[in-house]
């Protein structure tokens, strides 16, 4: 629809409507019936009568206007006026009504004492800074009639601010709110991929002191997998500060999660700046990573299907609704990303009875790399391994429930079998945290989408619901420290735009509560007797056969429910230290438990394989299928992206210098 309007506008902009020129026959001119001479009329103020500009703060204008239109009819027939009439639809409501009001101030400037008052250049420049990205998102140049230097005046020349009235009304509305209830304004509309990138970059720029954006890779069709981060020290891991991630749009046609994460990003930025103490506490004590769209290629296809459904010439509406459950689900390679991760759950089931086999940080089998690995999957796996994530949520659609690992049944022939992890109680509590904070998810009387989850109050073990291998949540649990839940947000995978605001209200508290819930259990630092941090030390909890490892600075986090726990810290070449810890109910933050380990002689032991080695867990992509990504570089848009050519590792590992002609291609 927007493309059609844009083509219409451009075609009209290239043409010009002109009234037929009036000529007078010489004989009629001699008799005084008419005249070919032009009588210059002095410009005078006249009543404003332009439909799209009648809500301006003034009622009188003057012609000719700044653009040279001599009459109201000439102004109304111009391409500039046409653009103002469709600008809201073209920009998806962004920068509206500011663009229209400033445009009207050029087409119909205020008039006083038969003199024109031009709009202020400072207003135009501020508008361009804030809104040029919206035009770039639809690949359209900034409108020529909003040229700040050409058509606007300085304060010294005497000008007026066309947005002054709107700003005054907004300030009045904000002043009427109590200080305890700061307000954030969000446009609840769908965003294209280009608009999403622009909006996230704009949000990060607005809150550069607590946020920045970075790319973890690219999709099959070359679109950025863009992450926005929130922290009081963005770009840096801080000692003992937990890291949490939220992932949306893994299936391209499940779009509500994508939009909620975009809104959450705007909300966190705005509320932090407004002084919301709850939001400031979350961001000052947590490092939050938000990947709004893991599958932008699939979204592109799903969005085009929905746009086609609005075409009145298409009569197969039922077919479209049916396709909405499948079209765009997969990536551009037709791979379901939530079936594309390494199947570590089968490895876990095969070895779980052996007390000598480590069942956490399971390495990726070499055989996995001989299959078809999506670039989106690869990018997310590398991201998951690169940061010490503690907990995570993946947002989906099609049901109203929170599921938790394992997603793959412990019996290969049982489609629905309860298949708990060693952290069953912790993961169940994590799922309960989101479901209970959601407005309707845990209610017994909530309408469901076919499945019956009211008996479990909106949560379920994934394999008990339905079993599948290669899921992202199982991979997080078995390959890293991170515990991930899957949040199904509702029956409609691509709800109408009118449902976006109600769904934000349904999920806002749940999202914030989930972010806060990472501060439960215990955290601490593992050091040697000299005070040096020990990386990759293991922290085990008696009765839970799942260890976590320490990060680069020796810090760790272990999500645990209230109760008494016996913790043990150890590392290869160091002593083993155990501590008994009691976690009371209603703790508002994680308890701190530090360990100091002494060096001991290293002797060969049957249990050596309990620790990750360079030949197992640390080895990633051993066949260099994807290693075109290496050191981060900064692109023109200011986004960090890892970008190394495919041959880089070959020369790096062989010690041979690449030829100059090859270096010039980088």
Q: How far is CA 264 from CA 229, 260, 442, 484, in A?
A: 12, 6, 22, 19
173 to each of 145, 239, 590, how far by Cα in Å? 31, 41, 40
Question: What pLDDT is attached to residue 203?
Answer: 94
Tracing tokens 């489609």 back to the chain, one arrives at 415
Which candidate, 83, 149, 81, 85, places its Cα nearest to that of 120?
Answer: 149
SS3 415: coil
Catalytic residue flag (residue 181): no
> In 10 A of CB 26, how many CB atoms?
9
- Among 207, 203, 381, 398, residue whose Cα is nearest residue 294: 381
State phi, psi for 227 to the nearest 5 degrees: -110, 135
The secondary structure of 608-662, three-state, reads HHHCCCCCCCCCCCCCCCCCCCCCEEECCCCCEEECCCCCHHHHHHHCCCCCHHH
Query: How many C-beta neighbours within 10 Å does residue 244 have?
Result: 23
Q: Quick one: angle between helices 472-479 and 375-386, nearest 10?
A: 30
- At 114 the pLDDT is 87
Bridge partners (DSSP) of residue 160 are 119
- Is 490 strand, coil or helix? strand
Please say whether the dihedral angle defined by the alpha carbons of residues 360, 365, 371 and 373, taken in this order, is positive or negative.
positive
Please enumerate in sequence order all residues whose Cβ is within 8 A of that of 432, keeping only pairs 6 or more positions apart, or say none. Answer: 402, 442, 457, 459
**Extended beta strands in 23-166, E state:** 45-47, 60-62, 111-112, 115-116
Helices (H) and strands (E) in the chain, counts: 21, 22
What spatial distance separates the first Cα and last Cα of the chain, rounded to whole Å? 40
- Do strands 640-642 and 632-634 pair parallel, antiparallel, or not at all (unpaired)? antiparallel
- List CB contacts of 658: < 8 A, sequence separation 6 or more: 647, 651
- Which DSSP state fits 42? P
Closest CA relative to residue 477, chosen from 397, 543, 559: 559
DSSP codes of every residue in 366-410: GGGGGS---HHHHHHHHHHHHS-EEEEEEEE-SEEEEEES--S-S
pLDDT at position 93:
63
- Kindly report the pTM of this predicted structure: 0.71
Rg value, the chain, Cα: 31
**C-alpha angle 226-227-230 in degrees, rounded to nearest 5:** 150
As a whole number of angstroms, the distance between CA 358 and CA 343 comes to 16
Q: Exactly one of 484, 488, 627, 642 is catalytic; which is it?
A: 488
pLDDT along the chain (666 residues), means of 10: 45 40 52 54 83 84 90 87 78 74 91 91 87 76 89 90 83 56 77 92 93 94 95 95 97 96 96 94 97 96 72 42 67 95 93 76 90 94 96 95 94 85 96 94 74 80 94 97 96 91 95 96 96 96 95 96 95 95 89 95 60 56 59 52 50 55 46
3 state SS of 581: strand
530, 361 Cβ separation under 8 angstroms: no
Q: What is the pLDDT of residue 313?
A: 46
What pLDDT was estimated at residue 84? 82
For 503-561, give the DSSP string: HHHHHHHHHHHHHHTTS-SEEEEEEETTS-B-TT-EEEETTEEEEEE--TTSEEEE---
Residue with structure tokens 């990472």? Answer: 518
| Residues in CB range of 22: below 8 A, 6 or more apart | none
Residue listed under structure tokens 């380990």 = 597
Can you give the pLDDT at residue 223? Answer: 92
Report the DSSP beta bridge partners of residue 527: 533, 596
Q: Phi and psi of 15, rounded to 5°?
A: -105, 170
| Bridging pattern class, strands 577-583 and 563-570 | antiparallel
| Residues 217, 224: Cα–Cα separation, whole Å | 6
pLDDT for the residue 317: 43
Residue ranges of the alpha helices (H) in 407-487? 424-437, 462-465, 472-479
Q: Residue 649 and residue 206: Cα distance in Å, rounded? A: 38
Contact (CB, 8 A) for 310 and 434: no
Query: Which candidate, 225, 284, 282, 315, places its Cα nearest to that of 508?
Result: 282
Smallest CA-to-CA distance from 398 within 485, 459, 321, 489 is with 489
The string over 109-144, giving b where at least 16 C-beta atoms fall within 10 Å of a residue's C-beta and e elsewhere, is: bbbeeeebbbbbbebbebbbeebebbbebbebeebe
Check residue 604 and give its pLDDT.
62
Candidates 626, 617, 652; CA nearest to 369 is 626
Sign of CA dihedral 472, 473, 474, 476: positive
């Amino acid at each position: 629809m927007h493309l059609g309007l844009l083509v219409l506008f451009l075609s009209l902009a290239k043409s010009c409507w002109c009234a037929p020129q009036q000529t007078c026959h010489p004989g009629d001119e001699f008799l005084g019936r008419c005249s070919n001479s032009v009588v210059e009329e002095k410009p005078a103020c006249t009543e404003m009568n332009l439909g799209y500009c009648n809500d301006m703060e003034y009622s009188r204008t003057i012609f000719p206007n700044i653009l040279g239109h001599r009459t109201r009819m000439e102004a109304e027939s111009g391409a500039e006026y046409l653009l103002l009439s469709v600008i809201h639809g073209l920009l998806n409501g962004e920068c509206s009504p500011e663009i229209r009001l400033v445009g009207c101030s050029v087409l119909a400037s205020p008039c006083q004492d038969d003199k024109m008052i031009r709009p202020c250049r400072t207003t135009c420049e501020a508008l361009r800074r804030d809104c040029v990205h919206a035009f770039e998102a639809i690949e359209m140049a900034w409108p020529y009639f909003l040229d700040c230097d050409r058509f606007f005046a300085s304060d010294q020349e005497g000008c007026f601010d066309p947005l002054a009235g709107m700003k005054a009304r907004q300030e009045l509305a904000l002043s009427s709110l109590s200080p305890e209830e700061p307000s954030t304004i969000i446009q609840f509309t769908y965003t294209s991929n280009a608009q999403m990138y622009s909006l996230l970059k704009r949000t990060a720029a607005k809150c550069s002191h607590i946020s920045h954006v970075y790319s973890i890779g690219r999709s099959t069709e070359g679109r950025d997998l863009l992450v926005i981060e929130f922290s009081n020290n963005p770009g840096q891991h801080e000692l003992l500060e937990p890291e949490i991630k939220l992932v949306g749009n893994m299936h391209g046609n499940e779009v509500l999660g994508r939009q909620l994460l975009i809104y959450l990003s705007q909300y966190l930025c705005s509320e932090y700046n407004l002084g919301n103490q709850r939001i400031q506490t979350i961001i000052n004590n947590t490092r939050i990573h938000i990947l709004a769209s893991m599958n932008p290629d699939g979204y592109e296809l799903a969005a085009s299907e929905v746009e086609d459904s609005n075409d009145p010439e298409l009569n197969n509406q039922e077919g479209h609704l049916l396709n909405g459950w499948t079209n765009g689900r997969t990536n551009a390679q037709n791979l379901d990303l939530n079936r594309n991760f390494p199947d570590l759950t089968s490895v876990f089931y095969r070895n779980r009875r052996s007390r000598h086999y480590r069942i956490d940080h399971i390495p990726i089998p070499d055989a996995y790399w001989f299959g078809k690995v999506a670039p989106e999957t690869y990018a997310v796996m590398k991201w998951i391994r690169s940061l010490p994530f503690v907990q995570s949520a993946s947002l989906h659609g099609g049901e109203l429930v929170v599921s938790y690992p394992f997603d793959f049944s412990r019996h290969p022939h049982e489609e629905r079998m309860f298949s708990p992890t060693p952290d069953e109680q912790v993961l169940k509590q994590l799922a309960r945290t989101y479901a209970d904070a959601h407005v309707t998810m845990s209610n017994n009387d909530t309408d469901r989408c076919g499945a019956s989850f009211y008996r479990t109050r909106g949560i379920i073990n994934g394999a008990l619901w339905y079993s599948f291998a290669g899921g992202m949540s199982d991979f997080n649990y078995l390959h890293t420290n991170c515990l991930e839940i899957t949040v199904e947000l509702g029956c409609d995978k691509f709800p109408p735009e009118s449902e976006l605001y109600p769904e934000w209200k349904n999920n806002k508290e749940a999202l914030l509560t989930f972010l806060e819930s990472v501060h439960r259990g215990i955290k601490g630092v593992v050091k040697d007797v000299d005070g040096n941090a020990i990386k990759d030390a293991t922290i085990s909890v008696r009765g839970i056969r799942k260890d976590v490892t320490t990060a680069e600075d020796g810090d760790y986090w272990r999500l645990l429910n209230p109760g008494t726990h016996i913790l043990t810290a150890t590392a290869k070449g160091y002593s083993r230290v155990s501590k008994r810890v009691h976690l009371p109910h209603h703790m508002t933050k994680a308890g701190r438990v530090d360990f100091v380990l002494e060096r001991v002689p290293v002797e060969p032991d049957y249990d050596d394989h309990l620790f990750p080695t360079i030949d197992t867990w640390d080895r990633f992509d051993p066949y260099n299928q994807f290693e075109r990504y290496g050191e981060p570089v900064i692109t023109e848009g200011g986004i960090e992206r890892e970008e190394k050519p495919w041959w880089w590792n070959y020369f790096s590992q062989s010690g041979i210098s690449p030829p100059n002609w090859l270096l010039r291609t980088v």
